[in-house]
Amino acid sequence: MTDYTRSDSHPETLAEMALGVLDPEERTSVLTHLASCPACREELLELSAVADRIAAQAPPAEPPAGFEDRVLARIDSQILGGTSALPRNRWERADRRTYKASGSRRSVSWKHLAAVAAAAALLLGAGAAIGSAATGTSSTVASDTTGGWSASLLVGPSGPVGRVFFDSDGHPWMSMGISASQVGTLRCELVSPAGKVIVLGTFQVTSQGGYWATYIPVSARGANTVRLVDTSGKMVATATMK
């Protein structure tokens, strides 16, 4: 189709490639060439930097009102594993509650973030909620009596490894963030005071930590302990629900 099908020539479409306007067929052809041509890879990098700067010159335009809320809601739905049945406005709700509890947005968001970072409770949607959690040795670290929301530390053999958030509003659910110290597949169980065990599911913890959210089934009401168990059956962390 074009002259770069000859092995001794370089594609003349690198500029279009950089601008992102090549059709898939041509793109594939260029990519095939790039795989074996460092010179063209280098040139594409430079052209892409130019192309990106051109794109950034588009005239700014204000999006319709409420745009930021819709972006936040969209991210919320992603945090919750794309499970559309889960509440979509988690972020907002957690925020509102913490405002109620402390009255100061600034102190809520930042006061305890260092502790949170250390715990690697990477709950994006609960960022503000994390911030409201008091540090301390108690396993239940925060709660909001008006909203049925609470947070607990996940404690492993050598100390805290993450946090669990419970929300008993409406359809109860919980979410948890755990540090990268527990890489692998973890099974989450709820245990009742009488010792009844309900397996809620499994999730992956990568070298960047792990995050998981789930509804709490009716059969698990009354359970007060969360247990995380690895594939060998060893318990790696527990948390106590308030």
Partner 1 sequence: MALNPISARVRNYDVRQMGIPVSSLSDEALLAGYASGDRELAVAFIRRFQSRVYGVALAVLGDPTGAEDVAQQAFERAWRHGSTYDARRGSVGTWLAAITRNLAIDTTRVRKADPIEVDALLAALPAGPNEPETKALEAESSREITRALRLLPTDQARAIVLAGMLGMSASQVAAAESIPLGTAKTRIRTAMGRLRSSLRYEHLAEHSND
Coil, helix or strand at residue 146: coil
Report in angstroms how near the CB of residue 192 gets to partner 1 at its nearest: 30
> Can you tell me which of 34, 40, 101, 128 binds partner 1, judged by CB under 8 A?
128
Does 37 contact partner 1 by CB under 8 A? no
Q: Which residues contact 72 (CB under 8 A, 6 or more apart)?
A: 91, 92
Q: Which is nearer to Zn ion, 11 or 131 (CB)?
A: 11
> Can you tell me which of 1, 35, 56, 218 binds partner 1, judged by CB under 8 A?
56
Report in angstroms how near the CB of residue 92 gets to partner 1 at its nearest: 9
Residue 179 tokens read as: 């540090």
Beta strands in the chain (DSSP E): 140-144, 149-156, 159-167, 173-178, 184-191, 197-205, 210-215, 225-230, 235-240
Residue type, 237: A
Q: Which is nearer to partner 1, 109 or 238 (CB)?
A: 109
Task: Give the single-character DSSP code of 32.
Answer: H
Does 91 contact partner 1 by CB under 8 A? yes
Opening angle at CA 175, ends 100 and 121, nearest 5: 80
Q: Which is nearer to partner 1, 17 or 223 (CB)?
A: 17
**Would you give the distance in Å from CA 8 to the centre of its chain?**
47
- Judged by CB under 5 A, the chain residues 16 through 75 that form the site for Zn ion are 37, 40
Interface residue list for Zn ion (CB under 5 A): 10, 37, 40
Binding-site ranges for partner 1 (CB under 8 A)? 12-16, 18-23, 46-64, 67-68, 70-72, 74-75, 78-79, 81, 91, 95, 105-106, 109-110, 113-114, 116-118, 120, 122-128, 131, 206, 208-211
